[in-house]
Amino acid sequence: MARTSVRRCATQLLPRLAALAALLLALPAAAGVLTQADLRAFFPDAIRIEAKEEALPVWPIVKLDGPTEKVMAYAFESIDLAPIPGFAGSPFNLLIAIDRDGHFIDLRVLSQHEPVFVDGLGVEPLLRFVEQYKGRRLQQPIRIAHGARRAGSDELDGITKATASVRILNESVLAAALQVARARLGFAPAGAAREAARVRDGVFEPLDWPVLVARGDVAHLAASNAEVERLFAGSAVEGADAAALARPDDAASELWLAYLNVPTVGRNLLGEARWRQLMARLEPGQHALLVASAGRLGFIGDDFVRGGVPERLALRQNGLPIELRDLDVDLAVAGAPAFAELAAFRVAAQAGFDPARPWQLALRVERQKGIVWPERVARELVVEQRLPERFFDIPESAETRAWKAVWQNRAADLAALGALFALLAAALFAQRRLVARPQRLAAFRWAVLAATLGFVGWHAQGQLSIVNLSGPLTALVQGRDLGFVLYDPVTLAVAGFTVLTLLVWGRGTFCGWLCPFGALQEFVGKAAQALRVPQWKVPARLDRALGRIKYALLVAILAAAAFAPALADRLVEAEPFKTAITLGFDRAGPALWYALATLALGAFAYKGYCRWICPLGAALAVLARTRRWQWLPRRAECGQPCQRCRHACAYNAIEESGAIRYADCFQCLDCVAIHDDRQRCVPLILMDRHGHPVPLHGRRVRREA
């Protein structure tokens, strides 16, 4: 008896020791093995392979996009992101490269310890298998063709006698690539770059099956024969289902979907004991889904293998496929209708599935036409699921933590910027008091311009640019989120204040007071005048014609941002802001000479760049049409025939009629100062001289708004 007991203990212990040894042997392989130099050999056509990132273990691959260098792809090792153990206890290690659209551009086997490929079939079938990934897109479902079936557009030709191993490989590829796609390619909604939500174990409500379905905690879809037939309308297999045509109103399929990790769902469906047993089978971070069906069209086909991947089901989140694997457990749901099929499936932790976000389960319905080489057509019935947030602890995303840290680090700059905004807004609201003394206006204006150039521009880097419009436009067209704007709090604050003031005063608040390059131009222009540099008097008609240049540039840049981003990157160089303000003239070549040339232009034609070339100014002028107030004071005599303010306006923003052309006004307040100055305003001078208003006689000119 003792010998039998020892033999029994040894029989139970040896497999466990073998598994432990395999896991220990696999530990050194739990990290990537390639270096930056190795990557250069794999991708010789790349201009540069960037260093491996710390936050996400990927190598950015830099290539030329026209004349511009851009990160065109990311390479990574699967073992760094999805070390899913194989049959030998150690994971595959694959070099994977995906481009910015999510296409697999390369996939190579770096190491593997699967017995079927080491001692059985050899490695050649495996190498041929991974070649099939190249050119496929991550968003499309990627399945392994089963048995004698031919691989289709969304299927890879499997390896006979190695079905389980290639499924583990496929799971590793998808799980690793999905993490990179979410974090670097924008294949996720705003804020998706966070840890997956965690289930609140203490949240439980005793509910029965009808209530769970009615509340949506168990998702449900019912499709009739007629509805399924409509899915195949216009295809080669339309009308091929005789049973559906004979009974169109009968149910073709009913699907139920439940996320079992949530106690309110899992415990109520399976019962306390069975639910806890199922949860004990899951490794940390894994998920269990219950799928049930009724009707003719089920999800368990003739080729379904217990413990395998269901061929007819596809789990997706954010448009990306996530692999399911059968848990091979017997289930029973109290109070539920009679199911034709019932199964539980596991989702690997490495897949990045987030149960607190919307997700979908698709049932693949396939028809075929022909016998020898049948034409197959597949359609899907999709169950949507979004569980209430009260079931989860939702962690703050790494992206949110990152931009919050940036805002905290810039708190002092933002406070100073807020004080500047408050001071400027108060002065503009009390403009009549500000301009009461010319010396006060001049001192205030030059102080603000100095703060704008030195603090807002060179120190805080708050120069608005046309890139602040073209960049978000490109992101929206490409389906990416705009979270990147949160990483530049100073620019965002300046942009917010500018938008608000557009509604009140028009474009002049930014262009005349808060644009660092505009302030620099103004200093250059005034210095040139003090040095008696000849000033060009541009005729009004030519001034109007030159002013159209900035609108043409604006249209060209925004069109390129939407349809040709690489061209937009070159066109935005029409702005000298990056050279003069962002880089403080620390730039060589044509960009530096161009910036100096625009400043030189301002020495001869006051703020010539701002008036004629600036595409950002054009955009603000267009947006300023939302302005609701004529806030600059005018008299009946202005322009009829008094032209005093018009001749004094350095920006040619006053019509001959006396009306202010707000699209070209830089809000310098010089005309307001003249309007209230009894020494310069002609109507006021005449009134003081004669003791009453004196009508001015002259040619009447049509007023323009």
Q: Is the pLDDT of residue 558 over 50?
A: yes
**Poorest-pLDDT segment among 191-195, 298-302, 369-373, 563-567:** 191-195
Same domain, 523 and 661: no
Does residue 19 lie within any of the structural domains?
A: no
Q: Round to whole Å and give the CA distance between 36 and 42.
A: 10
Q: Is the pLDDT of residue 598 over 90?
A: yes
Same domain, 378 and 310: yes
Q: Round to whole Å and give the CA distance between 269 and 263.
A: 9
Does residue 23 lie within any of the structural domains?
A: no
**Poorest-pLDDT segment among 113-127, 354-368, 563-577, 606-620:** 113-127
Q: What is the mean pLDDT of residues 84-92?
A: 77
pLDDT reported for residue 360: 93
Does residue 677 lie within any of the structural domains?
A: yes
pLDDT reported for residue 28: 39
pLDDT reported for residue 194: 54
Does residue 687 lie within any of the structural domains?
A: yes
Q: When comparing pLDDT for 414 and 704, which is higher? A: 414
Same domain, 37 and 50: yes
Q: Is the pLDDT of residue 540 over 70?
A: yes
Nearest to 498 by CA among 620, 614, 591, 402: 620
Q: Is the pLDDT of residue 233 over 50?
A: yes
Same domain, 353 and 405: no
Q: How confident is the model at residue 55 (pLDDT cuts 50, 70, 90)?
A: confident
Asked whether the beta carbons of 413 and 406 are under 8 A apart, the reply is no
**Poorest-pLDDT segment among 93-102, 513-522, 591-600, 631-640:** 631-640
**pLDDT, tens only, 238-296:** 888 888 888 988 888 999 999 999 999 999 999 999 999 999 999 888 999 999 999 88
Angle between helix 615-623 and 467-477 (nearest 10): 80
Asked whether the beta carbons of 214 and 355 are under 8 A apart, the reply is no
Q: Is the pLDDT of residue 6 over 50?
A: no
Q: Round to whole Å and give the CA distance between 160 and 148.
A: 9
Same domain, 325 and 444: no
Does residue 41 lie within any of the structural domains?
A: yes
Residues 653-671 as b or e (16 or more Cβ within 10 Å = b): bbbbbbbbbbbbbbbbbbb
Domain boundary among 626, 651, 686: 626
Does residue 22 lie within any of the structural domains?
A: no
The DSSP letter of residue 700 is: -
Q: Round to whole Å and give the CA distance between 43 and 61.
A: 8
Asked whether the beta carbons of 607 and 543 are under 8 A apart, the reply is no
Q: How many domains does the chain have?
A: 4
Q: How confident is the model at residue 343 (pLDDT cuts 50, 70, 90)?
A: very high
pLDDT reported for residue 11: 41
Domain boundary among 603, 626, 649: 626
Q: Round to whole Å and give the CA distance between 684 and 658.
A: 16
Q: When comparing pLDDT for 626 and 123, which is higher? A: 123
Write the CB contacts of 225 (distance below 8 Å, at least 6 apart in sequence): 241, 243, 244, 245, 247, 248, 249, 250, 251, 252
Residue range(s) defining the domain that contains residue 701? 630-705
**Poorest-pLDDT segment among 134-143, 212-221, 534-543:** 134-143
Q: How confident is the model at residue 524 (pLDDT cuts 50, 70, 90)?
A: very high
pLDDT reported for residue 398: 59
Q: Is the pLDDT of residue 698 over 60?
A: no
Mapped onto helix, strand or coil, the DSSP state of residue 145 is: coil
Same domain, 556 and 660: no
Asked whether the beta carbons of 205 and 216 are under 8 A apart, the reply is no
Does residue 524 lie within any of the structural domains?
A: yes
Q: Compute the mean pLDDT over every residue in the chain, rounded to the nearest whole number.
A: 82
Q: Is the pLDDT of residue 221 over 90?
A: yes
Q: What is the mean pLDDT of residues 395-399?
A: 67
368: which strand partners?
376
Maximum average pLDDT range among 52-66, 132-146, 171-185, 439-453:
439-453
Same domain, 91 and 179: yes
pLDDT reported for residue 66: 61
Cα 294 from chain centroid (whole Å) = 40
Q: Is 698 left (phi over 0), alpha (psi -120 to 50) or beta?
A: left
Q: What is the mean pLDDT of residues 390-409?
A: 78
Q: Is the pLDDT of residue 502 over 50?
A: yes
Same domain, 358 and 295: yes
Same domain, 421 and 531: yes
Cα 505 from chain centroid (whole Å) = 33
Same domain, 635 and 609: no
Q: For residue 269, which phi and psi values (nearest 5 degrees)?
A: -80, -45
Strands 359-369 and 68-77, bridge-based pairing: unpaired
Q: When comparing pLDDT for 593 and 164, which is higher? A: 593
Write the CB contacts of 559 (distance below 8 Å, at least 6 apart in sequence): none
Q: How confident is the model at residue 703 (pLDDT cuts 50, 70, 90)?
A: very low
Does residue 347 lie within any of the structural domains?
A: yes
Same domain, 529 and 516: yes
Domain boundary among 184, 216, 236: 184
Q: Is the pLDDT of residue 154 over 90?
A: no
pLDDT reported for residue 148: 39
Q: Is the pLDDT of residue 214 over 60?
A: yes
Q: How confident is the model at residue 433 (pLDDT cuts 50, 70, 90)?
A: confident
Q: Is the pLDDT of residue 53 over 90?
A: no
Same domain, 148 and 243: no
CA angle 639, 645, 648 (to 5 degrees): 135
Q: Is the pLDDT of residue 162 over 80?
A: no
Q: Is the pLDDT of residue 361 over 50?
A: yes
What 3 state SS string does 612-632 have? HCCHHHHHHHHHHHHCCCCCC
Side-chain-facing half-sphere of 266: CA atoms under 13 Å: 24
Asked whether the beta carbons of 651 and 511 are under 8 A apart, the reply is no
Q: What is the mean pLDDT of residues 560-579?
A: 89
Amino acid occupying residue 348: A
